[in-house]
Amino acid sequence: MGGVGKYIATRLAVTPPMILILLTFVFFALRVMPGDPVLAMLGGHNIPPERIEEYRVKLGLDKPLYAQYFHYLGNIFRGDFGKSTRTGKPVLEDILARFPATLELAVFGMAIAILIGLTTGTFAAIRSDRPVDHGIRIFNIGSFATPIFWLGLMLQIIFAVKLKVLPVAGRLDPKIGAFFRPITKFYVLDAILKKDLGLLIDALKHLAMPAFVLGLVLSGFIGRISRSSMLEVIDKEYVTTARSKGLTERAVNYKHALRNALIPIVTVMGLQFALLMAGAILTETTFSWPGIARYLVRSIEARDYYAIQGAVVWIAVLISTVNLIVDVIYSFLDPRVRY
């Protein structure tokens, strides 16, 4: 097996233990938290004790803690995440129904973040120590430090309430959604497949604000990393050699400098995309976006053990998968990490 194969095998080997540790922590943390999931599910405190006990037996909460733990692990290995006490549906079914919304939001948010962050960071490095560089650095710091919920609310007030050009929340207009039958559950892709221009415009309008909020906040961090990485390579010997050959400044900066500066940038992009795909809780909550993060928040409020555990496992697998992909890309960009 080659260097890349060994590297991938090593990364795959450490992933299951990490997920098991996280799952174990969440399982026991939920059990020691105050509150009773049965009372939360039944919706009150004046419940007959026999009914409470009936539901405890039904949910398996009457068994010793270690028995609950191993029973849950056995179900997880079989792909059974349990049934949500809040929705009454299998947790895996709930997650799969909401995952496309989170992934669609993450993809568009990341695209905006890369466009703004990589452009501003690269331009600032090329114009370092000039007024435009200082202005871009202030912009990147400000965007990264801006609270997501505040920015989301401001955009809603301006574009949804005042100007009335964008919808305030959701994925589709209710009038369109009532007759819409998704193919992939990625609404933008479905609109393209159906060749429905009205559906495409409506889906993009609903995506615009939440994706821009995520992208703008994340772009500040990517911009700072891009600038730092570009400054490290822009004076390297190979860049100076390319410049001495008579290449245009544009070719030197973007073909030689930026290409070598992408290694740390790609790593940051991958890690941030994993967090976005796991679910931007504040964004999904602010814009009532029906994704995994919002599902997790509502499950926590309802003390829905199986839903919380299932969502956490799903998020952990997503992050591990994206990290593995980033590591593989990194190993091709920089062969030294294979050994």
Q: What is the dihedral of CA 18, 24, 27, 28, to 10 degrees?
A: -130
pLDDT attached to residue 109: 92
Q: What fold does the segment set 91-338 form as a domain?
A: MetI-like fold (1.10.3720)
Instruction: Write phi, then psi, for 7 (nearest 5 degrees).
Output: -65, -45
Instruction: Write phi, then psi, for 83 (nearest 5 degrees).
Output: -115, 135
Among 266, 224, 262, 248, smallest CA distance to 125 is for 224
- 12 bridge partner residues: none
pLDDT attached to residue 2: 56
Mind listing the pLDDT tens digit for each residue in 15-26? 788 888 888 888
Binning pLDDT at 50, 70 and 90, where does residue 133 land?
confident
Q: Which helix or strand (DSSP H or E) is residue 177 part of? A: helix 174-177
Cβ neighbourhood burial of 183 (10 Å; 0-12, 13-18, 19+): exposed
Q: Taking a C-beta distance cutoff of 8 angstroms, is the pair 194, 183 a contact?
A: yes
Mind listing the pLDDT tens digit for each residue in 156-196? 999 999 999 999 988 999 888 778 888 888 999 999 999 99
- Average pLDDT along the chain: 83
> pTM of this prediction?
0.84
- The amino acid that residue 297 corresponds to is V
Domain spans in the chain, listed from the N-terminal domain onward: 91-338
Token pair, residue 257, equals 């400098």
Taken in order 210, 216, 217, 219, the sign of the CA dihedral is: positive
- DSSP label of 83: B
Give yes or no for residue 207 having a pLDDT over 90. yes
Cβ neighbourhood burial of 212 (10 Å; 0-12, 13-18, 19+): buried
Token pair, residue 80, equals 């059974």
Whole-angstrom distance, CA of residue 188 vs CA of residue 251 = 35
